[in-house]
Amino acid sequence: MMEWIRGEWPWYLAGPLIGLFVPALLIVGNKTFGISSNLRHLCAAIAPGSVAFFRYDWKRTGLWNLVFLVGVLLGGLIAFHGGASHDVVVSAQTKASLVRLGFHDFSGLAPRELFHWQALLTVKGFVSIVVGGFLVGFGTAYAGGCTSGHAISGLANFELPSLIAVLGFFAGGLAATYLILPILLRGV
């Protein structure tokens, strides 16, 4: 049983389980699935100050979401230390494409040449980590939610803004992958 839990789950099992999570949340507690609102809940809980955006009853609206966030973090920690495989398997074609972009270390979850503390001192590392992180945060706020909230809950609820956001996420991801990243990683 433990081997099955620790192993990779096939898409035809994991996908429906994630999909059933959305109606279960709606039926049990009239809640929607998403993770990005937790930053607002944390700010409201820790230091609301004089900012009106952070002055609301976060215990009523966000406590369950913060518990979910703690569960995600604990689940990741358990998976990391509980024997889950740390090897990322990528195809030979993907490795060849990454080598052409300057990556050679395939031992971790992310390329160490780009995602490492020392990479922050390089232009491409700074742009990828700091500027990219800022753009992800800005996009999440601008879109009114994150990819999980829009793609899982929003689409399941047939919300047009979520469909537009998900199409924007995919368009942005494709543009970054095929246009921006090759220029950034080869040119700098």
Query: Which pLDDT score is estimated for 171?
Result: 94
**What is the 3-class SS of 78-135, one letter each residue?**
HHHHCCCCCCCCCCHHHHHHHHHCCCCCCCCCCCCCCCCHHHHHCHHHHHHHHHHHHH
Residue range 123-159, pLDDT digits in tens = 888 888 898 889 888 888 888 888 888 888 888 888 9
Q: What is the SS3 assignment for 162?
A: helix
Query: Which pLDDT score is estimated for 85?
Result: 62
Q: Which residue has the higher pLDDT, 44 or 9?
A: 44
Query: Which pLDDT score is estimated for 74?
Result: 92
At residue 121, does pLDDT exceed 70?
yes
Average pLDDT, the chain: 83
Domain-wise residue ranges, the chain: 1-84, 88-188
* Lowest mean per-residue pLDDT among 109-113, 135-139, 154-158, 180-184: 109-113
What 8-state DSSP symbol labels residue 145?
S
Residue range 70-86, pLDDT digits in tens = 998 998 888 777 766 66
Residue range 2-11, pLDDT digits in tens = 677 667 788 8
Residues in the chain: 188
Q: Which residues of 34-48 are buried (b: 16+ CB within 10 A; e: fewer)?
A: bbbbbebbeebeeee
